Amino acid sequence: MTPRQRRWIFLVAAAGMLVFYLWGLVGLPGFGHYPGPYGDIINAVAVGQTHATGVVSAVNFEYRGFDTLGEEFILFTAATGVATVLRHLREERDTAAEDENSDRQVPVTSDAVRMVTLAFIGPTLVVGWYLATHAQTSPSGGFQGGVVLATAFVLVYLAGQFIVFKRLSPVDLTDAVDAIGAGSFAVIGVAALGTGAAYLANFLPLGSSPGAVNSAGTIALISFCVGIEVAAAFVLIAGELLEQTLIIREGDR
Amino acid sequence: MDSLLPLAVVVPLLGAAGISTANPLFGHRRWLLDAVAILVAAAVTGMLVTIMLGTVGGQRVYWFAGFPPVHGVALGIDFAVDQLNAGLAALTALLVTAALVFSWRYFERVATYYHALMLVFLAGMVGFCLTGDIFDLFVWFEVMGVAAYALTAYRIEERGPIQGALNFAITNSVGAYLSLSGIALIYGRTGALNMAQIGQAIAGHPPDGLVVVAFLLILMGLLTKASVAPFHFWLADAHAVAPTPVCVLFSGVMVELGLYGIARVYWSMFAAGLGHQASITAILLSLGVLTAVVGALFCFRQRHLKRLLAFSTINHAGLFLIGIALLTPLGLAGAAVYVLGHGLVKAALFLCVGIVLHRLGSINETSLHGRGRRLPLTGAVFLLAALGLADLPPFALYLGAGWIGHSGDSLGMHWITAVVMLTSALVGAAVLRVAGGVFYGIGDPPSEDPHMAEEASEETSETDEAKGRTPLSMIVPPAVLVGLAIAAGLLPHLGSLVQSGAVRFQDQAAYNATVLAGAQLAHPVAIMPTEDAAPTLTDVITGLGTVAASLVLALISLYWRRLPVLRRGYEPGTGLVGPIRRFQSGVVNDYVTWIVIGLACLGGALAFTIIR
Amino acid sequence: MHVFPFVVVAWILIVGLYGIITSRHLIHQIVCLIVVQSSTYVLLLGVGYKTGAVAPYFYDIPPNTPAVDPVVQALALTDVVVEAAVTALLLAFAVQAHKRFGTLDPEELRQFQG
């Protein structure tokens, strides 16, 4: 189809599709009138059963932990896929890949940017760590914490130190950490099998007060492993993508 | 025994994670990498066969994290396993094992990524088969998808894999997001994500807009994965460029998983709630017939061996959909047996093509003419597999075709047998033409396809340099798979086993009760009359007829230039080239447009027939 | 007001699909795919909302307070992060496409036809 034909055909088909979709959507109970029962029952029993006050994390890492395992492995696979697709071929290894506009004068990172980003690395790491370890208490969790942790590494790049960034996160190491994080989640589940319970059952002590840091058994542990895995995956992805446009700048060696 | 159920998914995941972790250790010892991967895949195959044998007595349900349902409300995720989905999962694991054994000597150098990706792919497929929760189905669908996209793009030295991977990824992602929209819709109505619970919740009421829309949207991702027309365009692009062992999995099981998903979603969730069986049969049948015809026609005109096999998969996907669309136990049983036979035979065909690529360095049918005489063993296996694909008894495929035909006859649709035979004959003719031309030098090479020459020449870097002998690890897997296909067709109790499985699969009330209440309702086999479970003479005759037609067509196309014809120089199928090129354009924008067109048309058809 | 968020869902989906279909640049096409998935997030979260309810975190409120549905929030949460990674994979494909084909126009990627 030519682009013009395609556009018109799409507009006609999309009109039909829109009508069809809306016909289904109006059958929903109105916005604000969630009918239950899944969410309501979980809200009622989660705190008592898991001693976690963050019910969303309880759903993620306990009630529907098996889903989360799958999602985590999607992340692992996507990161592995990025490393596969952007791997260095023998021919490419010898010549540094050049940016199209490398004849343009690339501005050196200004001191202001450098100072601010370096100053932020520490706090970002702390916040990321906090988020990854407090899934059971507050709106946080492994996924959120992991992304923030990865951001700390990207800040190193922004400070103009790509070489340092690369040295901090070689592909083999981040791939291994990624795999360890993902594998730990699966292993925790198998450990539950070892105690005679179902896969991914919460077999660690639940703690006395709901919402404390040492409560909720495996939820906290799994969340931490997920945090590590997500951080490693995103650092791997960022590193691979950035390396493709490596610009060796004179002043930064 | 129940602990095997989660382990069937977790073991390959741990294998992939373990391989990636130990990457530095494996770097120099490639054989260790292959051995670990093959062992893991073989172990999973063993687990799944054990699980399947354990389901003969009744469906097994496993609740994760120790949260069984409370008063009919599911709190957690479950695996609901019966003969059909355990059998499909076992077939998947078997083909992955075969592909990994084949890859041992097939790749010159391979990073650990390949084995990790294959194991994650296996885990995703097994999880997809066994789960009883609709969102979990979506999650494993995505796991399968992402691993498949990365594996398709594996050979980054060439241009083709990137295009194939992009087309594959974008079309399947659009389908997946439409499915997720459907899941959200049905969740909004029922407040449940467990298939049995949803089925129970919508069963009592007549279908309204939301149920119909949710049904079709959930089906969209599955139809795209199953390469049903008009959502099929990505398959040929992906097959042409993915490494051969990966194509084995795409054609052998991944497409079939999409069809299984359709059957599962319909019978576990929507069958009682939608009703209107005749309308749904009509709509799905038309899709199936369209797919089968499109696949067969496009297949016949191909000269690129892998694309030829890809289109034959599309044709068979259409035939499987016809079997499912009949909505009878015999139709479903026919589709299941057909899937089993087809998976084994198609895998063998792809592996033989891989051997051809490895030894002769080309997959262009025209340039390969006669050169395959150096590979007598491969030629023999390929020929056997080609005959099996054309429904030769005793390969299991003829049973599938026969039962689907029977079921159609019992519903008064006698044309179904004709469609099955004709399209199978066309596809069989194409593959037999390849067998005769490439491996035995019969007849004349087919006409050159100008686009083909430049595509096919890029394939050579997939494998090792051509060696003098085909390694054992490359010829044994296809031979074993062909042997298994013959053995499956000869199994004495295959008929009753698969049929009882199909009856159970379609019994929504029993499924709901088993999953939600742990009860094992007596399977109402008496309610649905068991149709003929043993291979009948009609099946054998139908199979032989299809093979005969394929042989005749293949010989005609091989000797075309020597036959006295009215117009010299005319090649059959020339008139098709233009339309084929226009439709299968390689541009992903077109493919997504077809998805929208298909969705709008199907939506209109469903809306008008179900809501009067 | 009952139905407006869901109309927005349908609109986002159509706009995203329009973007994919008329796109002449792979990066734009991949971002439109993100837009398509965003419509599913809005749908999921919209379905789980309860008027007058709080977020399902009971750290400093009594556990029986009416709260919105935590399940869809959990689903959307993991989906967002996963989608970012899958998009990264597609963008890696785009980088390779640029290297091999020299262009990022989907119309020009016609290595295979027919």
Q: What's the pLDDT tens digit per position in C59-74?
A: 888 878 888 999 999 9
Mean pLDDT of B545-567: 77
Per-residue pLDDT, A253: 33
Q: Which of A227-231, B526-530, C62-66 has the lowest mean pLDDT?
A: B526-530
pLDDT value for B1? 65
Averaged pLDDT, A171-182: 86
So what's the pLDDT on residue B489?
83
Tokens standing for residue B99: 């592909």
Whether chain C has a CB inside 8 Å of the CB on B456: the answer is no
Pairwise CB contact (< 8 Å): B135 & C29:
no
Distance between first and last Cα of chain C: 49
Candidate ranges B254-258, B450-454, B492-496; pick with highest mean pLDDT: B254-258
| Confidence (pLDDT) at B529 | 46
Residue B460 lies in a domain: no
Q: Would you tell me which residues 303-332 of chain B have a C-beta closer than 8 angstroms to some C-beta of chain C?
A: 307
pLDDT score recorded for residue A192: 82
* Residue A204 predicted with pLDDT over 80: no
Check pLDDT > 80 for residue B99: yes
- 């439109």: which residue's tokens? C32
Distance of CA C61 to the CA centre of its chain: 32
Element (H, E) at B584: none
On whether residue C79 sits in a domain, the answer given is yes
Q: List Cβ<8 Å contacts ≥24 apart for B384-387.
A: B384/B482, B385/B345, B385/B346, B385/B348, B385/B349, B385/B352, B385/B478, B385/B481, B385/B482, B385/B485, B386/B349, B386/B428, B386/B431, B386/B432, B386/B434, B386/B435, B387/B428, B387/B432, B387/B547
**What subunits make at least 3 CB pairs under 8 angstroms with A?**
B, C
**What are the residues facing B420 on neighbouring strands?**
none
The mean pLDDT value of chain A amounts to: 82
Q: What is the ipTM of this complex?
A: 0.95
Q: Do C89 and A25 touch (CB under 8 A)?
A: no
Q: What is the pTM of this model?
A: 0.93
Burial class (CB in 10 A: 0-12, 13-18, 19+), A243: middle
Asked whether residue C113 is domain-assigned, the answer is no
How many residues appear in chain A?
Answer: 253
d(CA B162, CA C101): 9
Q: Which two tokens stand for residue A117?
A: 């980003």
Q: Is C33 inside any structural domain?
A: yes
Q: Which of C6, C7, C56 is facing A56, going by the closest CB pair? A: C56
Torsion-angle region of A28 (φ positive above 0: left; ψ -120 to 50: alpha; else: beta): beta
Looking at per-residue pLDDT, the higher value among A53 and C41 belongs to C41
Residue of chain B whose Cα is closest to the Cα of C73: B184
pLDDT at A53 over 60: yes
CA angle B592, A83, B173 (to 5 degrees): 20
State the nearest Cα–Cα gap between A173 and chain B, in angstroms.
Answer: 9
User: What DSSP line would sit under B159-210, residue for residue?
Assistant: SHHHHHHHHHHHHHHHHHHHHHHHHHHHHHHH---BHHHHHHHHHTS---HH
Region B396-425 average pLDDT? 88
The pLDDT score that the predictor gives to residue B566 is 46
pLDDT at B527: 38
Give the nearest chain B residue to A89 (CA atoms): B157
CA distance B261 to chain A (A): 17
Element (H, E) at B76: none
CA distance B339 to B356: 25
Q: Which pLDDT value is given to residue B247?
A: 92
pLDDT band at B413 (very low <50, low <70, confident <90, very high): confident
Q: Domain range holding C96?
A: 4-108
Residue B77 near chain C (CB below 8 Å): no
Q: Is the pLDDT of residue A158 over 70?
A: yes
- Comparing alpha-carbon positions, the chain B residue that sits nearest to C22 is B589
Q: Of B120, B333, B315, which is closest to residue B235 (Cα–Cα)?
A: B315
HSE of B306 in the Cβ direction (CA atoms, 13 Å)? 31
Encoded amino acid at C70, one letter: P
- Partners of B150 on chain C (C-beta within 8 Å) are 89
Subunit contact A198:B139, Cβ cutoff 8 A: no
C-beta separation of B312 from B431 below 8 A? yes
Dihedral angle at the C-alpha atoms of B218, B222, B225, B231, nearest 10 degrees?
A: -70
Question: Residue A98: pLDDT above 70?
Answer: no
Q: How far off is chain C from B164, nearest CA to CA, in Å?
A: 9
Comparison of pLDDT for B57 and B372, the residue scoring more: B372
Q: Do C111 and B184 make contact, defined as CB atoms within 8 angstroms?
A: no
From chain C, which residues contact B within 8 Å (Cβ)? 9, 13, 17, 20-23, 26, 29-30, 33, 36-37, 39-40, 43-44, 47, 71-72, 75, 79, 82, 86, 89-90, 93-94, 96-97, 100-101, 106-107, 109-114
Rounded Cα–Cα distance for residues B572 and B574 (Å) = 6
Using CB atoms, pick whichever of B170, B181, B581 lies closest to residue C114: B581
Q: Do B589 and C90 touch (CB under 8 A)?
A: no
Domain annotation covers residue B463: no
CB contact under 8 A, C82 and B142: yes
- What's the gap in Å between the CA of A87 and the closest CA on chain B? 9
pLDDT at B564: 66
Is 90 exceeded by the pLDDT of residue C33? yes
Mean pLDDT, all residues of chain C: 89
- Does any domain span residue B462? no
**Quick one: how far is CA B411 from the chain centroid?**
26
How far is C81 from B219, CA to CA, in rounded Å? Answer: 25
Whole-number pLDDT of residue C87: 93
Query: Which domain does B400 fall in, by range?
Result: 4-455+469-562+571-610
Whether residues A20 and B603 touch (CB distance < 8 A) is answered with yes
Question: What is the residue whose two structure tokens read 């291979």?
Answer: B535
How does residue B9 score in pLDDT terms, banded at 50, 70 and 90? very high
pLDDT at B570: 52
Q: Please determine, for residue B458, whether its predicted confidence score (pLDDT) is greater than 60.
A: no
- Name the domain count of chain B: 1
**For chain B, percent of residues with pLDDT exceeding 70:** 89
Q: Which one of B33-37, B153-157, C9-13 scores highest in mean pLDDT?
A: C9-13
pLDDT exceeds 70 at position B214: yes
**Average of per-residue pLDDT across B538-561:** 84
Question: Which pLDDT value is given to residue C6?
Answer: 93
C-alpha span between B196 and B58 (Å, rounded):
16
Residue B7, CA atoms < 13 Å, CB-side half-sphere: 18
Looking at residue B465, its pLDDT comes to 55
**Residue B575 neighbours by CB distance under 10 Å:** 11
- Across chain B, what does the average pLDDT equal? 85
CA distance C24 to chain B (A): 9
Identity of the highest mean pLDDT range in A50-64, B244-258, B454-468: B244-258
SS3 C16: helix
CB–CB contact B596 A80 (8 Å): no
**pLDDT tens column, A3-47:** 888 899 999 999 999 999 999 999 898 888 888 789 889 888 888
The string of pLDDT tens digits covering residues C91-103 is 999 988 888 888 8
Q: What is the mean pLDDT of residues B535-556?
A: 84
Residue B524 forms part of a structural domain: yes
Place of tokens 């003829």: B398
Determine contact: B158 vs chain C, CB below 8 A: yes
**A249 pLDDT above the threshold of 50:** no
Does the N-terminal peptide bond of residue B394 adopt cis geometry, omega within 30 degrees of 0? yes
| pLDDT bucket at B525, cuts 50 / 70 / 90 | very low
The set of residues, in sequence order, having a beta carbon less than 8 Å from that of B181 and lying 6+ positions away, is A21, B217, C9, C13, C39, C40, C43
Mean pLDDT is lowest, of B107-121, B360-374, B516-530, for: B516-530
Task: For residue range B421-445, list pLDDT tens digits in order.
Answer: 999 999 999 999 999 888 888 877 7
- Among B295-309, B504-518, B533-547, top mean pLDDT goes to B295-309
Which tokens is B125 given? 């497929």
C-alpha closest to that of C107 among B176, A100, B153, A6: A6
CATH of residue C42's domain is: 1.10.287.3510
pLDDT of residue A247: 42
Whole-number Å distance between alpha carbons of B147 and B116: 9
Query: Distance from B314 to chain C by nearest Cα, in Å?
Result: 14
Q: Is residue C59 one of the residues assigned to a domain? A: yes
Q: What is the CA radius of gyration of chain C?
A: 19
Neighbours of A253 (CB within 10 A): 6
Q: What is the mean pLDDT of residues A51-55?
A: 85
Residue in B19, B67, B151 to test binding to A, most A beta-carbons within 10 Å:
B67
Chain B CB contacts of C26 below 8 Å:
166
Both tokens assigned to B220: 């969209």
Q: Which residues contact C81 (CB under 8 A, 6 or more apart)?
A: A71, A75, A143, A146, A147, A230
Least confident of A163-177, A201-215, B157-171: A201-215
Q: Is the pLDDT of residue B528 over 50?
A: no
For C1-114, where are the alpha helices, taking DSSP H only?
A: 4-21, 26-47, 70-101
- Between B135, B166, B592, which is nearest C17 by CB? B592
Are A69 and B13 within 8 A, CB to CB? yes
Please count the structural domains in chain C: 1
Of A63-72, B13-22, B327-336, B513-522, minimum mean pLDDT range: B513-522
- Is the per-residue pLDDT at A188 higher than 60? yes
pLDDT in the model for residue B96: 95
